[in-house]
């Protein structure tokens, strides 16, 4: 491949700020660099400690096939260990070669990293074994992409907790509300640390920051990788996930119980209150947040350390369907 074309490919790939568009561009980059017959990009997702693989992009020389599995429920996706070559690639965090893949093609699997772990796999099928120069070039291109992802993360994530920030939530809300997993609904929860102002006043902001950091880690530990976690600022967080009604309540209760059961150094017990709502296709960010906030404020007014559904509170007559936020002491 001549240098100008290669430079154009890299430039086209790193112009993207949207993750899905970036994934497609990365697949096209590898398709060209490796003169591939097929390139498939998979996301590696966490499912309660088990890792699953979700097909995201497939390119073929004869035309695109195999649609994305974005709408497939997590439990129906294949486990990482179902393909030994996937497991080896993730464990080694390095390229793995398979003598023959589908249709007699030679398969090479590249890991796709974020700042700390393997978050995706790229399968590249070629007619012949990749030449060392091709493999090295492809690996180098992926390192450039990794650096680009790190730069994106700097602008999209909260500097203290590493969670996605409010700006990212607002910019990506349209995609957040579109196409929940089959047979499930999309839910949004607002999570607030109880009496956080008192923690800062008694212990100081250094310990307050440690509480924020530990709560964010508990969120990561109890939520799935496919769930979207945001820090909105101060002591407020937002979670967006796909689940049934029962599954959503169980997920939010699991987080609440994990925080309440954790021993925070110098602080002792810390609790959180959650308000959540089903996200509707016509929602704006403010619409969904308003309903979740109304449920959160109800939880705060009625004992804290609890998770409350806006829909259930409305059905039981505790909230009006479009309840307005009322002033309440949150700390």
Cβ neighbour number for residue 140 with a 10 Å cutoff: 12
23, 69, 123, 235: which is the annotated catalytic residue?
235
Contacts of 225 (CB under 8 A, 6+ apart): 44, 45, 46, 47
Would you call 235 a catalytic residue per the annotation? Answer: yes
HEC secondary structure over the chain: CCHHHHHHHHHHHHCCCCHHHHHHHHHHHHHHHCCCCEEEEEEEEEECCEEEEEEEEEEECCCCCCCCCCCCCHHHCCEHHHCHHHHHHHHHCCCEEECCCHHHCEEEEEEEECCCCEEEEEEEEECCCCCHHHHHHHHHHHHHHHHHHHHHHHHHECCCCCCEEHHHHHHHHHHHHCCCCCCCEEEEEEEEECCHHHHHHHHCHHHHHHHHHHHHHHHHHHCCCCCEEEEEECCEEEEEEEECHHHHHHHHHHHHHHHHCCCECCCECCCEEEEEEECCCCCCHHHHHHHHHHHHHHHHHCCCCCEEEHHHHHHCCCCCCCCCCCCCCCC
Q: Which of 248, 224, 240 is nearest to 176 (CA)?
A: 240
**Distance from C-alpha of 147 to C-alpha of 115, rounded to nearest angstrom:** 8
| Residues identified as active-site | 235
């Amino acid at each position: 491949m001549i240098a100008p074309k290669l430079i154009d490919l890299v430039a086209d790939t790193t112009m993207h700020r949207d993750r899905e568009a970036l994934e497609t561009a990365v697949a096209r980059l590898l398709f060209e660099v490796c003169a591939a017959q097929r390139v498939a990009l998979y996301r590696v997702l966490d499912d309660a400690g088990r890792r699953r693989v979700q097909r995201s992009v497939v390119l073929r020389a004869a035309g695109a096939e195999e649609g994305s599995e974005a709408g497939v429920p997590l439990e129906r996706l294949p486990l990482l260990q179902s393909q030994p070559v996937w497991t080896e690639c993730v464990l080694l965090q390095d390229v793995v070669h398979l003598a023959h893949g589908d249709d007699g093609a030679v398969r090479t699997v590249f890991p796709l990293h974020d700042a700390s772990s393997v978050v995706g796999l790229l399968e590249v099928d070629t007619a012949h074994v990749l030449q060392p120069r091709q493999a090295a070039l492809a690996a180098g291109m992926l390192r450039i992409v990794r650096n680009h992802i790190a730069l994106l993360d700097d602008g999209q994530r909260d500097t203290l907790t590493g969670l996605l920030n409010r700006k990212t939530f607002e910019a990506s809300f349209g995609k957040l509300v579109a196409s929940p997993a089959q047979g499930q609904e999309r839910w949004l929860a607002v999570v607030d640390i109880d009496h956080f102002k008192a923690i800062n006043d008694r212990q100081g902001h250094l310990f307050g920051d440690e509480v924020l950091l530990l709560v964010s880690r508990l969120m990561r530990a109890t939520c799935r990788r496919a769930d979207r976690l945001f820090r909105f600022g101060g002591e407020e967080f937002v979670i967006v996930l796909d689940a049934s009604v029962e599954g959503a309540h169980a997920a939010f209760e699991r987080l609440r119980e994990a925080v309440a059961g954790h021993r925070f150094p110098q602080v002792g017990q810390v609790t959180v209150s959650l308000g959540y709502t089903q996200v509707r296709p016509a929602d704006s960010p403010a619409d969904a947040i308003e309903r979740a906030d109304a449920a959160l404020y109800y939880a705060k007014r009625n004992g804290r350390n609890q998770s409350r559904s806006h829909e259930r509170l409305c059905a039981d007559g505790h909230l009006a369907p479009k309840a307005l936020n009322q002033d309440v002491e949150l700390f």
